[in-house]
Chain A
Amino acid sequence: MTPQTMFLIGIILLFASLPASMFGWRKIFTLSAMLGAGFLGAIAILWHPSGDGVLTLAAFHLGIFPVELGLTWLSSIFLILLSAGCILGLAHGYAYLNGHEDGLRSHGFFLALLVISLHLTVLARDALMLFFAWELMGFSSFFAILVERDEPTWKAAKYYLIFMQAGAAVLLTGIAMAYANTGSLRFNDWAGLPAITAFVLMIGFAFKAGFFPFHSWLPVAHPMAPSHVSGMMSGLLTKTGIYGILMILLCFQPPLASLYVFGAIALITALTGVFHALAETDIKRILAWSSIENIGIIGLGIAFAWLGRNLNVPAITLFGILGALLHSINHSLFKPMLFYLSGNVQHQAHERDINRLGGLQKKMPVTGGLFFAGSLAIAGLPFMNGFVSEFLVFLTILEGFRVHDVGFNIAAIVGLSGLAYVASIALFAFARMYGLAFLGEPRTDRAAHVKETTRSLWIVPSILAGLCLMGGMAGDYMLAWLHGFLPGSMLGSDIDFIKLLERFQPFRLVLVITLGFFLLMFLWRRRKVRFQRESTWGCGYEKPSAKMQYTGTSFVHPVEPIMNMFTGKQRELDFDSSYFPTRLSFVREARDRIQKRLIAPIVMAIHRFLDLFAGVQSGRTQVYITYGLVFLVAVLIWVIVGES
């Protein structure tokens, strides 16, 4: 079988899922979409092009525009990431929406469209196809969010759509500029783009990736989407932005200063994300902000990789690009997993606020255990994959100290301390989220009456957790595999990377032994010891309440002064501080300052402008037919006037 046939089968299967979803054949729809994604992903695994070559899968003309679909080394990596993510996301979506059979046909349709658009984005070899896929992705994800048609979801979805369109507008501008510069829409002809054009394109991609200051759609849109969609959006959709940025970076020679700026933006993105994740109390919003943090870490890896390229230090380039790619892959594993699990929690408790949860580990041991594993991974702790990729980004920056360049050394110091800070706060944030939601006692009735979810909702998270563990224990194999994709221009000629990886073998041994020890301890405890079970020691007080536990807000109080620099201080204390107080209420909320001061006003302005046209929508068919008639007449007049 040739890659082209495989591609054809994949695309046909993907498109076949569209009508299947409309007929409400959920099994067929899910299966064909999963298979289609699988076929496309398999192409990248089996036939990924080596070096700077391109594997063309399909080429045709759409009117006067040539359209080409194909794979490079970069899009192969992202195609594997996306197709694997889509397969698991579709599977989980199937399980998640079980029981909501009705009214979800359109959701399935848009989900399938989202999967198609994700694949097309990385397969596109020309700007037209890319832009088409890009817009399709925006619209399909917009509709995929709208499962619940309530007011807040509707508002969030609209916010998201406006944001995506703004990003698309920037991208379109960039594409136009590139066309003007090179006279071609084919990426193969884009080598040597002028810097300004490349920057505009990168900004367009940055909207989707969620780089600061274009990040504010994530925490708005993700919580409102059903969790399989939020998982796919957070884990996969943002990665297309990363893909776009990497692709453009490969097309031109970025000036040194711009790379420092890019690095700074990445660091600010990571810090903003992690501090908001610390300040938030809504699980999904925490996860959304943590995505922003991870995008920042990926960005930091990319920035240092290209800095190394500019300064001719191949080791930095290699470590940086591998770190960024591996972290993208890892993030697309643990982030969807946590989103899926948060969906399980929401499904059971109808609540996502950690200040109202608590004690879930006892009630939902499997969900809790998997959530713990995901938290380990995302906090970058050993055993899990997050550690490997974050460690690689650290190594990248550390290498920077060997370079004799003061500016670069300063950047390395700032980057290293910043990244260390981000990593430690991330650990803090996820210890907080897991601890408050899953440990202790339930804070509300809702949290008290949860039950473990059905087994079907553990399957995909368990697979993801297994992948995360494998990625952590066998990170070096993963890196060697990724290394195989890279073209010569990316490989350091002065280091034998594969040999370098061998040095990590003893480390794995330590990990295996430790893990084995934990496992043995777990088994031994189960078998040998008889427990005397008593309630938590509460100083002998007769009537303890769930309020006597740390809240999400209290937990972060010690770091609040620093956190407030990023999140703003939103604190309302109502306390009659008399001798005999009878009233005490307190609210602490985190708000995104950038979103509130800068982005939200713009979005609102656009919204208000669009509202001017709301009158046009009457909902009556006759009126719409009239519009069509008016339009036809107008076109006719325009043609006639143009002719003469």
Chain B
Amino acid sequence: MNPSLISVPEATLDLHGSIRDALGRGFRPLAFYADADRSLICLMGNDDTHKLELMRFSFPEGGTYPSLTELSNEFHMYERELWEETGLIPQSHPWLKPVRYPHDRPELILKDYPFLTAKSESMHEVAVGPVHAGVIEPGQFRFLCEGEDVHHLEIQLGYQHRGIRKLLEKGDIRGKIHLAEAIAGDTAIGHGLAYCRAVEALCGVEVPDAIHRERAIALEMERAAMHLADLSALAGDIAYITGMNYYAAVRTKVINLSLHVCGSRFGKRWLCPGGVNYGIGSEKNRYMIQLLTTIREDIRVMGTAMFNDSGVLSRFDGTGHVTADSIRDLHFVGMAARSGGVLRDARKAYPFAPYEQFPESIVFPQGDVYARAILRYKESLQSIDFCLQLLAELPETASLTPKLPEPRRDVIAVSIVEGWRGEIVHLIRTDKEGKTLSYRVYDPSFHNWMALALAVRNNGISDFPVCNKSFNLSYCGNDL
């Protein structure tokens, strides 16, 4: 069930046994962290059976425990985060390095990040960031290069860390939609929806079917808009200027449609827990159908030209390759997985209301920049098709902003939303008085930054920009 309201289970001791068992049954970790009451919580999901399992373990004694990463590399980021937040050391973790240098661990010094360095006088390092050349978020990229070839890329983040989880945990959980939308501004709908659904589960509110549909429209419009933005950026990076300007203009049309519905180009303030702030009336509906139909054709016309162009293909093809094995091993999610032959789509794996009607997810097997680019192209078409399908059946909706009841006590609410990058997982734990004990956010970027690092290996450093844009990962979603 998604979203789920789960009563807090009893803490057990057998961390390794339980997780090994769940992994054996085809589950994958969706969240693993130390809760505020010093117990370890692990959310596992099975994409095939659509089942979620929440496990709780008592905090290991003595400050160390045998690393779960030994069991499965899928845990490597979770354990790094766990170590960073609590100081709990996973023994024999292969890469125990800070994730985001949080404000409450001042003993971790940002500038002392233990980068892998080459024991070589003939190799040079390229250090980029935190202030990049473009208008992008900050992060430090360290390339180990033999001339123009990259052997290794290591990415150190944390510059965007502003402590948003602390803000989400403080005060009434029901009034945090604005913050949730600002977890990652380019995924305002994705994170906003994940928040809304978690809070609705927590407060026991049922949302009408029409509202679910409208929210799905918002989510798919965001997906299409961001895919178009990245197609534009990818085209720009390979000096395919027509593609760059064309897709930028089409993206403007999509986000201006969002502006037309809710007053924000990013869909901020569209959603609210329990409903939506802005409905879609019949006139707007008609206008949206009309415009989205044109946009769909716009996207198709350029895509036909772009993805048949030998110049474009020669730059995309085989660049920034990520293998299906590494996708499974390291738990890459969403678009990054689907472009590498691994079907991971929360819309199908953990579906909610209108997504039962959603067609097959698009998967490309190649795992290179080409696959990620054409996946974006196909998905943007698919999203607009789905919007049109929903709009056609959508009854007239109006603003719905109910006053929510008090949150349930001592429970964990889980919601999973497939944002345009991949699955967004929000978990809210309340204590015995109904106050928020912890708010956990997992942006797909948290997992997928590693995919970018792997993609760049053995590529020319000049291919880094296209690799980067093909993923377009969120810094703030990782840094929180």
Contact = CB atoms under 8 A, between A and B. Distances in A.
Q: CB atoms of A and B under 8 A apart anywhere in the complex?
A: yes
A554 B124 contact: yes
B127 A539 contact: yes
A540 B329 contact: no
B127 A548 contact: yes
Given A539-B129, A539-B131, A552-B122, A580 B110 contact: no
Chain B contact-residue range equals 35 or more
A132 to B, nearest CB: 46
Interface string B126-141: 1111111000001010
B130 A553 contact: no
Interface stretch (B147-155, B270-278, B364-372): B147-155
Chain A contact-residue range equals 35 or more
Contacts of B128: 539
Contacts of B112: 543
A67 to B, nearest CB: 54
Query: Residue among A554, A558, A573 with the most chain B CB within 10 A?
Result: A554
Nearest to A559: B147
Contact of A553 (B117, B131, B146): B146
A170 B245 CA distance: 73
Given A575-B152, A579-B73, A585 B124 contact: no
Contacts of A581: 116, 152
Given A575-B152, A577-B457, A581-B152, A554 B127 contact: no
Contacts of B360: none
B124 A551 contact: yes
Contacts of A549: 124
Main secondary structure of the interface of B (DSSP, over half): mixed
Contact of A543 (B76, B111, B122, B450): B111
A554 B147 contact: yes
A440 to B, nearest CB: 11
Interface in A349-368: 353, 355-356
Contacts of B151: 573, 575, 584, 586
Given A541-B127, A545-B125, A579 B140 contact: no
Interface in A567-596: 573, 575, 577-588
Contact of B145 (A443, A554, A579, A587): A554
B125 A548 contact: yes
B119 interface: yes
Given A539-B130, A541-B130, A587 B125 contact: no
A135 interface: no
B254 interface: no
A539 B122 contact: no
Contacts of B94: 578-580, 582
Contacts of B119: 583-586
A260 B117 CA distance: 51
A102 interface: no
A553 B110 CA distance: 31
B123 interface: yes
B123 A579 contact: no
B129 A553 contact: no
A553 B147 contact: yes
A553 B123 contact: yes
A281 interface: yes
A356 B111 CA distance: 24
Query: Residue among A281, A540, A560 with the most chain B CB within 10 A?
Result: A540
B147 A556 contact: yes
B147 A586 contact: no
A586 B146 contact: yes
Contacts of B329: 579
Contact of A557 (B76, B147, B326): B147
Contacts of B146: 553-554, 557, 573, 586, 588
B127 A544 contact: yes
B144 A579 contact: no
A63 B457 CA distance: 76
Given A539-B127, A547-B125, A575-B152, 14 more contacts: A539-B128, A540-B130, A540-B138, A542-B110, A542-B111, A543-B112, A544-B127, A547-B117, A553-B122, A558-B148, A560-B147, A582-B95, A583-B119, A586-B151
9 contacts: A356-B121, A540-B130, A551-B124, A552-B122, A558-B148, A579-B329, A582-B116, A584-B120, A586-B122
Interface of B: 73, 76, 94-95, 110-112, 116-132, 138, 140, 144-149, 151-152, 326, 329-330, 450, 454, 457
- 5 cross-chain pairs, A with B, having the tightest CB-CB distances, nearest first: A557-B147, A553-B122, A580-B94, A540-B131, A585-B119
